[in-house]
Amino acid sequence: MKKHNFYAGPSILSQYTIKNTADAILNFADTGLSVLEVSHRSKEFQAVMDEAVALVKELLDIPEGYSVLFLGGGASLQFCMAPMNLLRTKAAYLETGTWAVNAIKEARLFGEVDVVASSKDANFTFIPKDYTIPADADYFHFTSNNTIYGTEMRNDPDAGGVRLIADMSSDIFSRPVDVSKYDLIYAGAQKNLAPAGVTIAIVRDDALGHVDRPIPTMLDYRTHVKKGSMFNTPPVLPIFAALQTLRYYKELGGVKELEKMDLAKAAKLYDAIDSSRMFEGTVTDPSDRSIMNVCFVMTPEYKELEKEFIDFASSKGIVGIKGHRSVGGFRASLYNALPMESVEVLVAAMKEFESKR
């Protein structure tokens, strides 16, 4: 049976990505070798790295003066790398979910952290909008999409001249971004790009080198800028797969087209939730709703049927819709690679289940 993959991460990849990666595992760039067994310094892999960097720049329309890095360690390593390289005395953070909480914890190791606003007391069901970013902050950090709670900031915030850092792990490439507003954007690849194991960092070159603390070589962005992400062995296979996805994104028409498709998919599912008597969304302000991760639950009256619905959905080939344990209910992740057809199958399953009750 055809599977409909709604996992939050690692998550669905395009068939284009999976097939080309599978082919290269058998024979990479006509070398007669597997991509798993070639030197990262071979000219064939250097070409992969160069094209991947060029495509990230093209797709996100990155201006001059920025470097695109492919790093190990996950987005979680960026939680400490960012302040280690960019926090001099004080940084401002917006607390919108578990990943933001983790980022704040790491930043506190390097300086003063001003949490300008938080929705923690409301279990992160909305994005706080009423806050002031101190003008003397070295930067303002936010999570553009809260993967666990299904809230999203789809506009580049205005930080009033304070430099911006964003964790875009779960919504990068789902909309155009004004990169010139940012000093650093980072994203673990396993949500919207590639298998786990690589993280993209887009860093403004002249933002680096202004802190006094010693930085271990591997944790210094300048090392990776200087060496083109080849200081040490980079995650070769995830980078190869990322390149396939980037080519596919370009072929589909770039991030503007991807955004249109993502908006249409999300609208379809949110409409179904809003028009149902059995399901309801968990995000309180509709303008905060994520188009990448749709979180919903059963209304109190039907609450005890949640487990049954997951089994029913799985009988239709739907996988990965169980909500994160801190929210409960359901979470349907609608990343770029998920086809509209899968959303239609989920919506049909919801309607059928509801009509049987």
Ligand X SMILES: *Cc1c(COP(=O)(O)O)cnc(C)c1O
Contact pattern for ligand X over residues 236 through 275, marking x by CB under 6 A? ----------------------------------------
Q: For 219, which DSSP code?
A: G
Q: How far is the CB of 99 from ligand X (least distance, A)?
A: 4
Judged by CB under 6 A, the stretch of 166-174, 215-223, 240-248, 343-351 that binds ligand X is 166-174
Q: Which is nearer to ligand X, 81 or 298 (CB)?
A: 81
Instruction: Provide the sign of the torsion angle of the four alpha carbons 255, 261, 266, 267, taken in this order.
Output: positive
Is the backbone of residue 216 left (phi > 0), alpha (psi -120 to 50) or beta?
beta
* Catalytic, out of 138, 167, 220, 262: 167
Judged by CB under 6 A, the stretch of 72-80, 85-93, 265-273, 294-302 that binds ligand X is 72-80
Among 234, 233, 253, 231, CA closest to 242: 234
Q: How far is the CB of 277 from ligand X (least distance, A)?
A: 31
Beta-carbon contacts of 271 under 8 Å, excluding residues fewer than 6 positions away, are none
94 φ, ψ to 5°? Answer: -100, 125
Contact pattern for ligand X over residues 111 through 150, marking x by CB under 6 A? --------------------------------x---x---
Residue 167 interacts with ligand X (CB under 6 A)? yes
Q: Which is nearer to ligand X, 141 or 191 (CB)?
A: 191
Judged by CB under 6 A, the stretch of 70-78, 132-140, 281-289, 349-357 that binds ligand X is 70-78
Which of 75, 113, 164, 294 is the binder for ligand X (CB under 6 A)? Answer: 75
Is residue 99 part of the annotated active site? The answer reads yes
Q: How far is the CB of 278 from ligand X (least distance, A)?
A: 28
Beta-carbon contacts of 353 under 8 Å, excluding residues fewer than 6 positions away, are 278, 305, 309, 312, 313
Residue 76 interacts with ligand X (CB under 6 A)? yes
Which of 4, 141, 154, 191 is the binder for ligand X (CB under 6 A)? Answer: 191
Q: How far is the CB of 355 from ligand X (least distance, A)?
A: 34
Tokens of 285: 């302000």
Q: For 300, which DSSP code?
A: G
Is residue 205 part of the annotated active site? The answer reads no
End-to-end CA distance of the chain: 26
Q: How far is the CB of 8 from ligand X (least distance, A)?
A: 8
336, exposed or middle or buried, with CB in 10 Å at 0-12, 13-18, 19+?
Answer: buried
Q: How far is the CB of 289 from ligand X (least distance, A)?
A: 16
168, exposed or middle or buried, with CB in 10 Å at 0-12, 13-18, 19+?
Answer: buried
Is residue 167 part of the annotated active site? The answer reads yes
Residue 170 interacts with ligand X (CB under 6 A)? yes
Q: What angle do CA 284, 286, 289 make, to 5 degrees?
A: 95
Please give the positions annotated as active site.
99, 167, 191
